[in-house]
Amino acid sequence: MRDLLLGIDIGTSSCKVAVFAADGTVVTAKNAEYEVFRPHQSWAEQDPEDWVSGVYDCIRRVFAETDVKPEEIKGIGVDGQSWSAVAIDKDGKVLINTPIWMDMRAQDICDRLNKEIGEEAIFDLSGNPMKPSYTTPKIIWYKENHPEIYGKIDKILQSNSFLVYRLTNEISQDVSMGYGLHCFDMRKAEWDLDMAKSLGIPADFLPPIYKCTDVVGKVTEEAAKITGLKAGTPVVAGGLDAACGTLGAGVAKAGETQEQGGQAGGMSICIDEYAADPRLILSFHVVPDVWLLQGGTTGGGGVMRWFEQNFADYERNNGSGKSSLVQLNEIAEKVPAGSEGLVFLPYMSGERTPIWDPDAKGVFYGLDFSKTKGHFVRACMEGVAFALRHNLEVAAAAGASVNELKAMGGSANSLLWTQIKADVTGKKITVPASDTATTLGAAILAGVGVGIYGSCEEAASQTVHTIRTHEPDLANKEVYDKRYSIYLEIYEQLKDTMKK
């Protein structure tokens, strides 16, 4: 009988479930899509029950469509998108759709809390600025806009801890997700109840905190009946998707850096000394005793997903036998570096780091009659790369310099896009063998929790292998240096107009 590990990823556009052997080999992987609801401008929310339905369906398909046996699964790890605010009552019922990380509805609440409590006091404790993307203002938004629901709240969970709860019936909060709440002490990895009181968050809302590799519960008989899993299978606390992806890309030690190519973009720099910067994001890594200094942008792989959905009817239906994304890559390759003056700002749902502007808008600059669809595709890729460079430069100014990036996410499958990022940033980029880095990271946490691996570092060395490397083209970088300065200038010139 094999010793297998199950990794679950609660992403923004879909969930993914993957089964791994102890050496990191993918045995099978399934995914299911769900919807992001946008009932008003600047809102973005999801129904957590959709996550559960999608994950359960994927797990059932694993057992129905492959030779994986329930008893072979030795441990389960769950990662999830950041900054949810899953409100459940004492019976575990979800009370309201949760605003997700790209939701910007609570800006006024942030402004008020920063004024009443003080930006410096909040930042000094939590290591993060008070911004609408985070969990904290969403909780207060419930209180002020849905008091009838707020009064029924028993606990506030994150995306991964909600799924862990459904599997085990245990309430938990892992350390890597603590950064969503500004009453979480980023030095001590514990709740600060005085700050919670100041913020207006009842202490009872806050789950007990666990290490990401802690076994917090076991699959219940009820969950086993629905999914096909074996009752009693251990489930660890899990962690933040970006942090699990960082581990799954092989970043487990200080100085190593992950480049994120999922729905969101950005990077995660592993550091072993506390170093917060209000322009960036700080969280604990899923690896013990280190932090991640992160850049998180709204425009990552989601930009290409948006472009493909809205402008690739021809590629989807031309009968070429190639996927629409492959064809978009091909037409973008024919366009020179710099897109012949077409510059794209990828602020498709406001923007997070480093500008923290909920009113920021996506912009194409430099249009003329010579521009083709290929120019637009390449400009989209370059705009996301410019956002990555902006974050790396801010991180360097904060003392976290980077020489090499380890790419993960669907965007890393594009050789062109990965090369563009190398050229724009001037950094070497390596790509691990598996494009399931996030679910692998979650599975590694489970493996450490049940004793298959001695540590996260040991697991990464056994499971993560590089398949290709991208060295920056210095001639292209010279072109991009000029376009990057224009990229920065466009936002500075338009940021006031964007607020109108």
- Asked whether residue 433 carries a pLDDT value surpassing 70, the answer given is yes
First-to-final CA distance of the chain? 63
Q: What is the pLDDT of residue 304?
A: 96
The 10s digit of each residue's pLDDT in 360-388 is 999 999 999 999 999 999 999 999 999 99
Cα 268 from Cα 277, distance rounded (Å): 13
What residue ranges define each of the domains in the chain, with the CATH number in brackets? Answer: 4-249 (3.30.420.40), 301-431+468-498 (3.30.420.40)
Longest dimension (CA), the chain: 64
Cα 120 from Cα 411, distance rounded (Å): 36
Residue 377 identity (one-letter amino acid): V
Two tokens, residue 122: 């909040």
Task: For the chain, state the CA radius of gyration.
Answer: 22
Please name which of 458, 407, 478 lies closest in space to residue 24, comparing C-alpha atoms.
Answer: 458
Judge residue 400's burial from the number of C-beta atoms within 10 Å of its C-beta, 0-12 exposed, 13-18 middle, 19 or more buried: buried
The 10s digit of each residue's pLDDT in 105-159 is 999 999 999 999 999 999 999 999 999 999 999 999 999 999 999 999 999 999 9
- Asked whether residue 262 carries a pLDDT value surpassing 90, the answer given is no
Q: What is the pLDDT of residue 409?
A: 86
Does the pTM surpass 0.75? The reply is yes
Cα 442 from Cα 236, distance rounded (Å): 9
Could you give the C-alpha distances from 448 to 1, 5, 288, in angstroms and in order? 19, 10, 11
The half-sphere exposure of 213 on its side-chain side, counting CA atoms within 13 A, is 21
Total Cβ atoms within 10 A of residue 211:
19
Over residues 238-258, the mean pLDDT reads 95
Q: What is the pLDDT of residue 434?
A: 67
Cα 92 from Cα 367, distance rounded (Å): 52
The chain-wide mean pLDDT, for the chain, equals 97
The 10s digit of each residue's pLDDT in 379-424 is 999 999 999 999 999 999 999 989 999 999 889 999 999 999 999 9
Contacts of 483 (CB under 8 A, 6+ apart): 338, 339, 343, 382, 386
Over residues 333-362, the mean pLDDT reads 97
Cα 344 from Cα 384, distance rounded (Å): 8
- Asked whether residue 455 carries a pLDDT value surpassing 90, the answer given is yes
Cα 218 from Cα 450, distance rounded (Å): 12
The half-sphere exposure of 129 on its side-chain side, counting CA atoms within 13 A, is 18
- Asked whether residue 435 carries a pLDDT value surpassing 90, the answer given is no
Query: In residues, how long is the chain?
Result: 500
Please name which of 165, 173, 164, 11 lies closest in space to residue 77, comparing C-alpha atoms.
Answer: 164
Please name which of 350, 401, 463, 461 lies closest in space to residue 100, comparing C-alpha atoms.
Answer: 350
The 10s digit of each residue's pLDDT in 168-212 is 999 999 999 999 999 999 999 999 999 999 999 999 999 999 999
The 10s digit of each residue's pLDDT in 166-179 is 999 999 999 999 99
